[in-house]
């Protein structure tokens, strides 16, 4: 191997869809790296060992992080702070702690700030990859290939440290962007969380009022299927996301509410020309956002 | 061929995505049927002739419908009434006129009622098939395979006449549902038009407020892409659809507005449990609607 590995021992806490895919991806891209896993349940760890994606697996987080130079929090965000308190005493000097949570300011304010106070290094990661499926069963090694990875360095870790983490994600096929956590949260509220809420709204409202389920079933086509796809995702996970990013989400949802109110008004006052402009603007926005990748 | 063809000569007025695909599908499924096309532009007709999907092609609608036992209106809905008035004197006795418009009550109230008064037979068709693409270039013969086709018989044509039209669509691979036009419009408002509006809303609102286009572009992933896919469709066509189905659409959009207001309230009063139930209900609705097909 021409370049040295950014990390020799990587501990992943919580091998679900993201954590499990990460273990698989590391195994494939950095075969020389040691992978250590922690999960609450023995059965999950046994499954990971059977899949050959872990060199060590333990139900004790302090043991799992021992000797690791990269520790990845991959549980639900709500469990980060407790885990951080458990692992902190066992962290190797110079170890970097990161996460894969989809909200970053909340993580920095709670877990990151605490680790930083204890003298540890925390840099946030948000791989913009996922699926409406969940769990180790749904994991696959190519999940991060081509994905955008946001890195948030609110506690100002040195540049060479951020670079190591960037190199790690790039070896897995990701494209890294460094952002402030607040800025990240406002952007993903628009590009990921609002789409989820509107997809859910579409499915939620569809059955309300005087309409027969049988007719909805008969006539549902690809438009309904695609527009609502993401709302098949775990309600628990999404409740957490909406919770943890609630300021940025409420801001954009209030904008949505205003924009929807305006659209209904255009229909009511029969302003066909402005309605057309509105739909054109929507289409153009989509082309610009998607096409600019 | 064991069964006689439901129609021997079929005229399609407007060979765009739907009309062009229909000509291709008829050619493939009923090679013995004669296909006559009308379009406003010579170039479109020449293209259709070159593709081998028309036996005759003319820019005069009265000539196009001569001898046809099925006439399909496949232009934008706004052009139906004028076309009907032009072709009525040339319609063969017993000819059935249908359409492929995605709104049905408006079509029956305007075009259907007028043809019926003149002693002609009009039965509405809405093939729940389409694409965000448009025009003869985007047409393909399998468009109707597996698609739901709603038939609306508001002017009470005899059952055997409806059966002929049903047989026609079934030969092209469609599954037919007979419905009242008002009932159809309320159902598609929920299953097709509201998804379009919410997809457009998602793309429209995404860029509002203090956010950088470059960041939206960098972080857009499959969630945004899928949720907004349908709003790539033609703003002109969708302005017409929202216009022509405006009562049913305003009804369901007011419901959406209420439901979104309630969701924002749940975030504001921090009622995590009800928020979870709301997201679960959305997911379950989607599974029931999609899974029930």
Contacts with B9 (C-beta within 8 Å, 6 or more apart), sequence order: B33, B34, B36, B67, B68, B69, B70
Q: Tell whether A3 is covered by a domain.
A: no
Query: Residue B194 is encoded by which pair of tokens?
Result: 């509201």
- Bridge partner residues of A124 (DSSP): A152
Q: Tell whether A121 is covered by a domain.
A: yes
CB contact under 8 A, A217 and B287: no
Q: At residue B56, does pLDDT exceed 90? A: yes
Residue B292's pLDDT is what? 54
A contact residues 75-134, partner B, Cβ 8 Å cutoff: 128-129
B142: exposed, middle or buried (Cβ count in 10 Å: 0-12, 13-18, 19+): middle
Contacts of B224 in chain A (CB under 8 A): 191-192, 195, 289-290
Cβ-Cβ contacts under 8 Å between A and B: the total is 310
Min Cα–Cα distance to chain B from A217, Å: 5
B169 shares its domain with B243: no
Contacts of B219 in chain A (CB under 8 A): 128, 148, 150, 177, 187-188, 191-192
Contacts of B257 in chain A (CB under 8 A): 257, 260-261, 264
Contacts of A236 in chain B (CB under 8 A): 276
pLDDT (mean) for B141-153: 96
Which of B223, B248, B275 should be substituted to probe chain A, the one whose Cβ sees the most A Cβ atoms within 10 Å?
B223
Is B178 part of the contact surface with chain A (CB cutoff 8 Å)? no
User: Do β-strands B34-38 and A9-13 pair in parallel, antiparallel, or remain unpaired?
Assistant: unpaired
Euclidean distance between the first and final Cα of chain A, in Å? 31
- Cβ proximity of B164 and B6 under 8 Å: yes
Q: Which stretch of DSSP H or E encloses residue A35? A: strand A34-38
Q: How many residues does the structure list for chain A?
A: 293
**Which among B227, B132, B107, B246 has a CA at the least distance from the CA of B189?**
B246
B146 shares its domain with B200: no
Which of B150, B212, B218 should be substituted to probe chain A, the one whose Cβ sees the most A Cβ atoms within 10 Å?
B218
Of the partner residues B128, B216, B253, the one whose CB lies closest to the CB of residue A289: B216
**Which among A220, A211, A204, A202 has a CA at the least distance from the CA of B285?**
A204
- Cβ proximity of B193 and B130 under 8 Å: no
Domain end residue (candidates: A156, A179, A202): A179
Q: At residue B272, does pLDDT exceed 60? A: yes
CB contact under 8 A, A217 and B283: no
CB contact under 8 A, A282 and B231: yes
CB contact under 8 A, B202 and A195: yes
User: Do β-strands A34-38 and A56-58 pair in parallel, antiparallel, or remain unpaired?
Assistant: parallel
A207 shares its domain with A161: no
CB contact under 8 A, B286 and A203: yes
Residue B110's pLDDT is what? 95
Residue B210's pLDDT is what? 86
pLDDT (mean) for B224-247: 92
Given the structure tokens 């059955």, which residue do they identify? A207
CB contact under 8 A, A209 and B261: no
- Cβ proximity of A157 and A184 under 8 Å: no
User: Do β-strands B124-127 and B70-73 pair in parallel, antiparallel, or remain unpaired?
Assistant: unpaired
pLDDT (mean) for A256-262: 98
Residue A132's pLDDT is what? 67
Domain of B227, CATH number, reads 1.10.3660.10
CB contact under 8 A, A208 and B290: no
For the CA atoms of B275, B276, B278, B281, what is the dihedral angle to 10 degrees?
Answer: 180
- Mean pLDDT rounded to a whole number for chain B: 94
Query: Under DSSP, is residue B149 helix (H, G, I), strand (E, B) or coil?
Result: strand
Residue B134's pLDDT is what? 82
Domain end residue (candidates: B127, B159, B179): B179
Residue A1's pLDDT is what? 47
Residue B132's pLDDT is what? 67
- Mean pLDDT rounded to a whole number for chain A: 94
Is B213 part of the contact surface with chain A (CB cutoff 8 Å)? yes
Cα distance between residue B136 and residue B51, in whole Å = 10
Residue B1's pLDDT is what? 47
Phi/psi at B119 (5° precision): 90, 10
B49 shares its domain with B173: yes
B198 shares its domain with B117: no
Contacts of B253 in chain A (CB under 8 A): 260, 263-264, 267
- Cβ proximity of B277 and A239 under 8 Å: no
Is A243 part of the contact surface with chain B (CB cutoff 8 Å)? yes
Residue of chain A whose Cα is closest to the Cα of B212:
A187
Query: Under DSSP, is residue A230 helix (H, G, I), strand (E, B) or coil?
Result: helix
What is the number of structural domains in chain B? 2
More confident residue, A285 or B221: A285
Contacts of A286 in chain B (CB under 8 A): 203, 228, 231-232
A252 shares its domain with A149: no
CB contact under 8 A, A201 and B231: no
C-alpha to C-alpha distances, B124 to A125, B155, B191, nearest whole angstrom? 54, 10, 19
Cα distance between residue B290 and residue B293, in whole Å = 6
pLDDT (mean) for B49-58: 95
A76 shares its domain with A171: yes
Is B197 part of the contact surface with chain A (CB cutoff 8 Å)? yes
Contacts of B244 in chain A (CB under 8 A): none
Residue A176's pLDDT is what? 97
Domain that holds residue B212: 184-290
Cα distance between residue A88 and residue A106, in whole Å = 19
Q: What is the pLDDT of residues B180-225, one digit of tens each?
A: 999 999 999 999 999 999 999 999 999 998 899 999 999 998 889 9
A93 shares its domain with A171: yes
B163 shares its domain with B192: no
B18 shares its domain with B68: yes
Residue B129's pLDDT is what? 84
Which of A195, A217, A237, A287 should be substituted to probe chain B, the one whose Cβ sees the most B Cβ atoms within 10 Å?
A195
Contacts with A140 (C-beta within 8 Å, 6 or more apart), sequence order: A21, A24
Contacts of A231 in chain B (CB under 8 A): 279, 282-283, 286
Cα distance between residue B165 and residue B98, in whole Å = 9
Q: Tell whether A4 is covered by a domain.
A: no
Contacts of B207 in chain A (CB under 8 A): 190, 285, 289
B28 shares its domain with B142: yes
Residue of chain A whose Cα is closest to the Cα of B242:
A267
- Cβ proximity of B104 and B150 under 8 Å: yes
Q: Tell whether A278 is covered by a domain.
A: yes
A52: exposed, middle or buried (Cβ count in 10 Å: 0-12, 13-18, 19+): exposed
Is A180 part of the contact surface with chain B (CB cutoff 8 Å)? no
Q: Which stretch of DSSP H or E encloses residue A56? A: strand A56-58
pLDDT (mean) for A174-200: 96
Exposure of A99 in the CB half-sphere (CA atoms within 13 A): 29
ipTM over 0.90: no
Full DSSP string of A147-207? -EEEEE-TT---HHHHHHHHHHHHHTT-EEEEE-HHHHHHHHIIIIIHHHHHHHHHHHHHT
Q: Tell whether B59 is covered by a domain.
A: yes
Q: How confident is the model at residue A292 (pLDDT cuts 50, 70, 90)?
A: low
**Which among A142, A159, A15 has a CA at the least distance from the CA of A73?**
A15
pLDDT (mean) for A161-168: 98
- Cβ proximity of A148 and B221 under 8 Å: yes
Is A242 part of the contact surface with chain B (CB cutoff 8 Å)? yes
Q: At residue A248, does pLDDT exceed 80? A: yes
Is A4 part of the contact surface with chain B (CB cutoff 8 Å)? no
**Which among B111, B119, B54, B61 has a CA at the least distance from the CA of B90?**
B61
- Cβ proximity of B139 and B20 under 8 Å: yes
- Cβ proximity of A126 and A183 under 8 Å: no
Q: What is the pLDDT of residues A95-112, one digit of tens each?
A: 999 999 999 999 999 999
Residue B2's pLDDT is what? 55
Domain of A119, CATH number, reads 3.40.50.720
A83 shares its domain with A210: no
Q: CA-based angle A82:A85:A89, to the nearest 5?
A: 150
Q: Tell whether B2 is covered by a domain.
A: no
Q: Tell whether B221 is covered by a domain.
A: yes
Q: At residue B293, does pLDDT exceed 60? A: no
Cα distance between residue B102 and residue B129, in whole Å = 10
Q: What is the pLDDT of residues A51-76, one digit of tens each?
A: 999 999 999 999 999 999 999 999 99
Residue A4's pLDDT is what? 85
Q: Tell whether B265 is covered by a domain.
A: yes
Q: From the CB of residue A226, how many other CB atoms can be counted at a distance below 10 Å?
A: 18
Domain end residue (candidates: B124, B150, B179): B179
- Put residue B125 in one of left, alpha, beta given phi > 0 → left and psi -120 to 50 → alpha: beta
């Amino acid at each position: 191997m021409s370049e040295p590995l950014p990390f020799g021992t990587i501990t992943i806490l919580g091998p679900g869809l993201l954590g499990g895919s990460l273990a698989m991806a590391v195994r494939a891209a950095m075969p020389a790296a040691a992978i250590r896993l922690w999960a609450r349940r023995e059965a999950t760890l046994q499954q990971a060992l059977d899949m050959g994606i872990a060199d060590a697996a333990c139900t004790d987080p302090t043991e799992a992080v021992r000797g690791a130079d990269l520790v990845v929090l991959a549980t639900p965000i709500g469990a980060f702070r407790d885990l951080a308190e458990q692992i902190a005493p066992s962290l190797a000097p110079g170890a970097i702690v990161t996460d894969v949570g989809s909200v970053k300011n909340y993580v920095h304010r709670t877990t990151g700030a605490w680790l930083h106070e204890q003298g540890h290094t925390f840099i946030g990661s948000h791989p913009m990859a996922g699926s409406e499926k969940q769990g180790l069963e749904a994991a696959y090694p190519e999940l991060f290939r081509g994905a955008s990875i946001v890195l948030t360095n609110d506690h100002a870790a040195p540049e060479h440290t951020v670079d190591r983490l960037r190199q790690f994600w790039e070896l897995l096929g990701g494209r890294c962007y460094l952002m402030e956590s607040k800025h990240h949260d406002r952007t993903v509220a628009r590009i990921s969380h609002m789409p989820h809420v509107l997809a859910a709204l579409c499915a939620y409202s569809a059955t309300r009022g005087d309409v027969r389920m049988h007719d909805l079933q008969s006539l549902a086509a690809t438009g309904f299927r695609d527009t609502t796809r993401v709302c098949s995702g775990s309600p628990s996970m999404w409740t957490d996301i909406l919770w943890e990013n609630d300021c940025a989400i409420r801001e954009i949802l209030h904008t949505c509410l205003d924009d929807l109110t305006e659209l209904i008004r255009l229909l009511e006052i029969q302003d066909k020309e402005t309605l057309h402009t509105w739909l054109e603007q929507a289409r153009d926005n989509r082309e610009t956002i998607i096409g600019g990748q």
